[in-house]
Structure 1
Amino acid sequence: MYFGKWISTSGMLVGLSLLLGGCASVSQTSTPTIIDQLMADPALNGATVSLMVRDARSGSTLYQHNPRTCLIPASNLKLLTTAAAMDVLGPQYRFSTQLLSNGTQQGERLSGNLYLKGLGDPTTQFADYQALAAQLAGQGVRQIQGDLVFDDSFFDAERLGVDWAQDDESTYYGAQISALTVSPNSDFDAGTLLVTAKAPAVVGQPVSVLVSPSTDYVQLDNRAVSGPGNNFGITRQHGTNLLQLTGALAPGKQSRQWVSVWEPTQLVANLFEQALAQQGIQVLGRRVIGGASPAAAKVVAEHQSAPLQELITPLLKLSNNNMSEALLKAMGRKTSNAGTAQAGVAAVADFMQRQGLAPTTLSQVDGSGLSRRNLVSSQGLTDLLLATARQPWFDAWYNALPIAGNPDRMTGGSLRYRLSGTPAQNNLHAKTGSMAGVSSLSGYISDAQGRRLVFSMISNNYLSSAAPIRALENRVALALAHWHD
Structure 2
Amino acid sequence: MGLKYLWVAAIWGLTGCAGLRTSPVLPVEVTQTIAKAELTQATFGLVAYPLHDRSRALRVNAELAMQPASSMKLVTTVVALDKLGPNARGRTDLLAAAPLLGDVLQGPIYLRGGGDTDLDWGALQMLLRELREQGVREIQGGLVVDRSLFRPARLDLGAPAFDEAPEFAYNVIPDALNLNGNLLSYRFTADAQTIKARVFPAWPGIALDVGALTLSDKACKDWDEDWLAPQVLDNDQVRRIALAGAFPRACVLSAELNLLDRQWLTAQAVRQIWQELGGAFGAGTDQEGATPAGARVLASHHGRPLAEVVRGMMKRSDNALTRLTYLRLGAASAAADEDTRPAAQRAVQEWFVSKGLDSAGLVLDNGSGLSRSERIKPAQLAALLEVAWSGRHAPELLTSLPLAGVDGTLSRRFKGSAAEGRARMKTGTLNDAVALAGYVYDAQQRPWVVVVMLNGPGSGAKGRPVLDALVDWVARQAD
Amino acid across the alignment from 2:61? N
Rounded to whole Å, the distance in 2 between the matches of 1:428 and 1:218 is: 46
**What is the alpha-carbon distance in structure 2 between the residues aligned to residue 377 and residue 300 of structure 1?**
48
Q: Does 1:138 align with 2:133?
A: yes
Which TM-score applies when normalising by structure 2? 0.87
The aligned counterpart of 2:93 is: 98
The C-alpha deviation readout for 1:239-297, integer Å capped at 9, x for no partner, is 98764433443432123322223542332222122221111111114233221001100
Of 85-94 and 163-172, deviating more is 163-172
> Take 1:429 and 1:163, find their aligned partners in 2: how far apart are those partners?
34
CA deviation profile, 1:144-193 (whole Å, cap 9, x unmatched): 1223211111112222797652424222111132111222xxxxxx1222
Does residue 1:179 correspond to 2:176, yes or no? yes
| Partner of residue 213 from structure 1, selected from 198, 201, 205 | 201
2:213 matched to 1:224? yes
Aligned to 2:340: 340
Match of 1:272 in 2: 270
Using the TM superposition, name which of 62-71 and 255-264 deviates more. Answer: 255-264
In the aligned structure 2, how far is the partner of 1:49 from the partner of 1:332?
32
Amino acid corresponding to residue 224 of structure 1 in structure 2 = L
TM-superposition CA deviations, 1:65-98 (whole Å, max 9, x none): 1111111111111100111111121110000000
Match for residue 66 of structure 2 among 71, 75, 88: 71
Which residue matches 1:7?
Answer: none
Q: Give the secondary structure class of the aligned counterpart of 1:94.
A: coil
Distance (Å, rounded) in 1 between the aligned partners of 2:240 and 2:32:
51
Instruction: Return the alpha-carbon distance in structure 2 between the equivalents of residues 236 and 60 of structure 1.
Output: 56
Q: Secondary structure at the match of 2:417?
A: coil
- What is the distance in 1 between the residues matched to 2:65 and 2:233? 34
Q: Which has the higher strand share?
A: 2
Paired letter, 1:295: A
Alpha-carbon shift at residue 106 of structure 1 (Å): 2.6
Opposite residue 354 of structure 1, the aligned amino acid is S
CA contact (8 A) 1:162 1:371 kept: no
Q: What is the 5 A alignment of 1:184-199?
A: 190-199=181-190
Deviation of 1:234 after TM superposition, in Å, equals 4.9
**Could you tell me which residue of structure 2 aligns to residue 5 of structure 1?**
none
- 3-state SS, counterpart of residue 300 of structure 1: strand
Q: 2:359 & 2:110 partners in 1: Cα distance?
A: 39
Q: Is the 8 A contact 1:117 1:180 kept in 2?
A: yes
Match in the other structure for 2:48 = 53
**2:4 matched to which residue of 1?**
29
- Offset of 1:300 from its aligned partner? 0.2
Is contact 2:87–2:307 with CA below 8 Å preserved after alignment?
yes
Is contact 2:190–2:249 with CA below 8 Å preserved after alignment? yes
Give distance in 2, aligned partners of 1:431 and 1:217: 41
Matching of residue 88 in structure 1 with residue 83 in structure 2: yes
| Mapped partners of 2:453, 2:68: distance in 1 | 6
Q: Which runs of 5+ in 2 are unaligned?
A: 6-24, 220-224
Q: Which moved more, 1:290-299 or 1:112-121?
A: 112-121
TM-score of the pair, normalised by structure 1: 0.86
User: What CA distance in whole angstroms lies between the structure 2 residues aligned with 1:457 and 1:160?
Assistant: 35
Match of 2:466 in 1: 472
Q: Distance in 1 between matches of 2:240 and 2:413?
A: 37
SS in 2 for 1:52: strand
The Cα RMSD (Å) is 2.4
Q: Taking structure 1 as reference, are residues 150 and 163 closer, same or farther at Cα in structure 2, changes over 3 Å only? A: closer
Q: Whole-Å Cα distance in 2 between the matches of residues 267 and 369 of structure 1?
A: 28
Amino acid at match of 2:227: G
Asked if the contact 2:232–2:259 (Cα under 8 Å) also holds between the matched residues in 1, the reply is no
Matches within 5 A, 1:43-442: 43-155=38-150, 156=152, 157-159=154-156, 165-183=162-180, 190-201=181-192, 203=193, 205=194, 207-216=195-204, 219-222=207-210, 223-229=212-218, 232-237=226-231, 243-337=241-335, 338=338, 340-406=340-406, 412-442=407-437
CA distance in 2, matches of 1:378, 1:164: 28
CA drift of 1:41 comes to 4.2
5+ residue gaps in structure 1?
1-25, 184-189, 407-411
Count of aligned pairs between the two proteins = 445
